[in-house]
Amino acid sequence: MQVVLCPFRFRTSGITSYSQAVAKALDTAGIDLLVVGFDMGSLRLADQGFRSVSLGEDPMLMTYAGGPLVTYAYIRSRMRRFLRTLTKRVDAIHYIFPGSTVRQNNSEALIAATSWEFQSPSDIIRNVSRNFRGVMKVPAVLDRLEHYYHDLRGYARSDVVVGTTSESIAFWSKRIPEFKGMYIPPPVDVPSYLNRDETGDSVRFLVGERDLDRKRNNVWLVLDVLAQIHNAGITNFEVELVGVSSEGLRRRVGELSRNGMRIRLTHYLPHAAFQDALERTDVALVPRFIHDQGAYWPLEAMARGTTVISSNLPAFRDFVIDGYTGLTFNLDEPEELRWKLMMVLTDDGLLRQLKRGARDFILEKHSLPIVGRQLERVYRSR
Q: By three-state DSSP, how is residue 367 classified?
A: strand
What is the per-residue pLDDT across 231-280, written as a single tens digit (0 to 9) for each? 999 999 999 999 888 899 999 999 999 999 999 999 878 778 888 899 88
Domains 2-187+368-379 and 203-365 share a fold: yes
- How is the chain split into domains, by residue range? 2-187+368-379, 203-365
Say which CATH architecture domain 203-365 belongs to: 3-Layer(aba) Sandwich (3.40)
Strand spans (E) along the chain: 2-8, 32-37, 51-54, 92-95, 110-115, 160-163, 181-183, 203-211, 237-244, 262-266, 283-286, 307-311, 326-329
Label residue 220 exposed, middle or buried (CB < 10 Å: 0-12, 13-18, 19+): middle
Mean pLDDT of 128-148: 74
Fold of 2-187+368-379: Rossmann fold (3.40.50)
Scanning 287-347, the segments in alpha helix (DSSP H) are 297-303, 334-346
Q: By three-state DSSP, how is residue 131 classified?
A: helix
User: Quick one: pLDDT at residue 112?
Assistant: 95
Greater model confidence, 213 or 10: 213
Task: Please give the angle made by the CA atoms of 201, 203 and 206, to the nearest 5 degrees.
Answer: 150
Rounded to whole angstroms, the Cα distance separating 340 from 307 reads 12
Q: State which H helix or E strand residue 133 sits in.
A: none
What is the per-residue pLDDT across 139-181, written as a single tens digit (0 to 9) for each? 778 888 888 888 899 999 999 999 998 988 998 998 888 889 9
- Taking all residues of the chain, what is their mean pLDDT, rounded to a whole number? 85
> Is-contact 35 8, C-beta < 8 A?
no
